[in-house]
With several copies, the nearest count.
Chain A
């Protein structure tokens, strides 16, 4: 089934104010740049965004933040962003902080039809508040719930017309699980190839999870902390 759309603008057709999105990437690594910029241009409002981080001031999620398009962020770490800090302190933005592994697993569970599961992370901390606590194998655990979203916005290295995706290096991160947890999953890829060109042994995200795919353009791939040995 051909799932190719022309570009990010076409890919986000139907997205409307108040939607819940998942956004792949770790820091600025592996974020769906084209789709974020299309959301910015379309000025979609009141977004609830599930993303490990919140971008930087002028790039990634930070762009939507500056334009006040975000109502709520569900993340594990939101440093590196002054505007975020300001909106949070002034109550313009709601933020839920979730341990990173729990966030990753909640998304994986959402895509896999698992409504709830138990993990040890956060036991005895404020993360425990309001959650069921239970002992297994002599260790205390919290019950955590699966997470899904109206739209999952992911970025892959290569993709085919059927929606099969392959990620590169650590740009995979949250993208793979999010692809399965979106009711509609929009994938942007650096390289779009005809179906049959990717080795089926090496597909990270099977096409069944992807509803729309397009070839992204003008990737900036900004580096947050260039750290070198020379």
Chain B
């Protein structure tokens, strides 16, 4: 059975390593913070100028001066730091952030990603997504495998305006974990109960399947 949003977030959380500095995008990526494994210490960066995002505040403690990049009220953990936007993106561009997790409309076999603009729809802007994908050492896309109409999001070549080229390293969907290799998409894990065949059918791009593909371990 395909994973829900929390399942995707939980699987991505397994990618975290102790000491990582991580930037989580809006949507499913934000949920990753709820599943950080025991014994792993991760510092979350918010590109509007905070290193050390804490949980959402109690209502009485919500502070209009303290928000995340999604403009939600947050808290700052002990040991955090505030800084301006130039410093924040210096940090990102300079390769000091270990992992970026973000959503996407489309990911191509070569690691290209489209995530910000759909022709004909109101364009809100790319925000920090282009900076993040162009600079982070490691980029994981969190997304459903197909869109609402069943159209694959893992495709041969992006059809929508790009956010970045050749930058995605791994995709975690409701159906699978897929690595982006020089040869293209490579199936690494299946969601519990989802078959290789189902994943192949939901993947427009060519999917490399080598040997037995294990199920994700989400226990």
Chain A positions within 8 Å of B, measured between CB atoms, are 1, 26-30, 52, 75-80, 85, 88-89, 97, 99-105, 107-108, 110-114, 119-127, 157, 160-162, 164, 167-177, 180, 195-196, 198, 200-201, 203-204, 206-209, 221-230
Query: Which residue of A80, A88, A103, A169 contacts B63 across the interface (Cβ within 8 Å)?
Result: A169
Q: A162-B79, A176-B84, A224-B71 are in contact. Are A125 and B130 (CB under 8 A)?
A: yes
A100 and B86 contact, CB distance less than 8 A:
no
* Residues from chain B with Cβ under 8 Å of A30 in the complex: 65
Closest to B122 in A: A85
Is B51 an interface position by the 8 A CB rule?
yes
Query: Which residue of B19, B41, B96, B127 contacts A77 across the interface (Cβ within 8 Å)?
Result: B127
Is B100 an interface position by the 8 A CB rule?
no
Give Cα A174 to B129, complex, Å: 17
Q: A1-B18, A208-B91 are in contact. Are A172 and B81 (CB under 8 A)?
A: no
Among the listed stretches B139-147, B156-164, B176-184, which one makes contact with chain A, having 4 or more residues with CB under 8 Å of it?
B156-164
Query: Which residue of B21, B68, B76, B126 contacts A100 across the interface (Cβ within 8 Å)?
Result: B126
Give Cα A104 to B132, complex, Å: 13
Query: Which residue of A104, A125, A169 contacts B85 across the interface (Cβ within 8 Å)?
Result: A104
Give Cα A100 to B194, complex, Å: 39
Pair count A-B, CB < 8 A: 245
* Residues from chain B with Cβ under 8 Å of A1 in the complex: 18-19, 41, 43
* Residues from chain A with Cβ under 8 Å of B21 in the complex: 208
B90 and A112 contact, CB distance less than 8 A:
yes
Give Cα A162 to B42, complex, Å: 12
B67 and A172 contact, CB distance less than 8 A:
no
* Residues from chain B with Cβ under 8 Å of A198 in the complex: 79
Say how far A219's CB is from chain B's closest CB, in angstroms.
9
Query: Which residue of A100, A101, A110, A230 contacts B58 across the interface (Cβ within 8 Å)?
Result: A230
**For window 76-92 of chain B, which residues contact chain A by CB distance below 8 Å?**
76, 78-92
Closest to A168 in B: B65
* Residues from chain B with Cβ under 8 Å of A171 in the complex: 64-65
A29 and B67 contact, CB distance less than 8 A:
yes
Give Cα A46 to B51, complex, Å: 37
Give Cα A147 to B27, complex, Å: 32
A101 and B89 contact, CB distance less than 8 A:
yes
Give Cα A31 to B90, complex, Å: 22
Give the interface centre of B21, B41, B97, B131 by most chain A CB atoms within 10 Å: B131
* Residues from chain A with Cβ under 8 Å of B85 in the complex: 26, 52, 100-101, 103-104, 172-174, 177
Task: Give the interface size class of chain B.
Answer: 35 or more
Query: Which residue of A26, A27, A120, A225 contacts B93 across the interface (Cβ within 8 Å)?
Result: A120
* Residues from chain B with Cβ under 8 Å of A105 in the complex: 86, 89-90, 93
Q: A104-B86, A122-B130, A196-B78 are in contact. Are A173 and B48 (CB under 8 A)?
A: yes
* Residues from chain A with Cβ under 8 Å of B163 in the complex: 125
Is B56 an interface position by the 8 A CB rule?
yes
A100 and B79 contact, CB distance less than 8 A:
no
* Residues from chain B with Cβ under 8 Å of A103 in the complex: 85
* Residues from chain A with Cβ under 8 Å of B135 in the complex: 101, 113, 120-121
A225 and B86 contact, CB distance less than 8 A:
no
Is B202 an interface position by the 8 A CB rule?
no
Say how far B27's CB is from chain A's closest CB, in angstroms.
13
Is B192 an interface position by the 8 A CB rule?
no
Give Cα A209 to B127, complex, Å: 24
B72 and A225 contact, CB distance less than 8 A:
yes
Say how far A127's CB is from chain B's closest CB, in angstroms.
6
Query: Which residue of B58, B63, B79, B91 contacts A195 across the interface (Cβ within 8 Å)?
Result: B79
Closest to B61 in A: A228
Closest to A56 in B: B71
* Residues from chain A with Cβ under 8 Å of B74 in the complex: 227
Is B52 an interface position by the 8 A CB rule?
yes
* Residues from chain B with Cβ under 8 Å of A75 in the complex: 125
Is B45 an interface position by the 8 A CB rule?
yes
Given A29-B48, A99-B128, A221-B64, 8 new contacts (CB under 8 A): A29-B65, A100-B89, A101-B130, A113-B92, A169-B66, A170-B46, A171-B65, A230-B58
